[in-house]
Amino acid sequence: MSKMTRLKTMYLSGTASTDPIELLDNQLPGIGWMIEDFRIICSNVLDVDQNTFCARIQTKPDINIAEVDWKSNSVLGVATYGGGGSTQIIDDATLITEQLFIQNLTVPGGSKTEPEIDYHITLGQYSISSLRRLASLVKEKQGQDF
């Protein structure tokens, strides 16, 4: 497959909702994006110590909120924050050629005053061939109805 050329870096920051929020709607056929970093923190500092927060980045908006669903080809990252520390797993090898969403998976309750979280995502932009774009789309659709 042809070589990808790195073009630039994009930083996305905001507050995630339990409803999926569209972060990226790529309409450019020769452009693809890759996730480089994904971090979250709770919006209310009073909730930091004794609670755990979770968010997911995905390429489809309609994934079950009750599951992380890492096995899905549409899930590209999961981040957690709790007790003053954060961790994340990201798929840094999958090319995003269409849409990207973020969803807050944090369950209300416990001592949380607000289950809101803030996010910071770093994406790399690449120039890609039509063959690489097609391969990315096929990978994402595996196991799904076309």
- State pLDDT tens for residues 60-108: 898 887 778 777 888 999 999 887 778 899 998 888 988 999 999 887 6
SS3 content of the chain, % helix, strand, coil (to 5): 10, 45, 45
* 18 part of a folded domain: yes
* 146 part of a folded domain: no
Q: By the 8 A CB rule, do 125 and 35 touch?
A: no
Q: Could you read off the pLDDT of 113-136 as tens digits, one per residue? A: 567 889 999 999 999 887 888 777
Q: Which two tokens stand for residue 5?
A: 């050329």
- Dist. CA 76–CA 8, nearest whole Å: 20
pTM exceeds 0.95 for this model: no
* 27 part of a folded domain: yes
* 56 part of a folded domain: yes
The total number of structural domains that make up the chain: 1
CATH number at residue 14: 2.60.120
Residue 69 lies in domain: 5-141
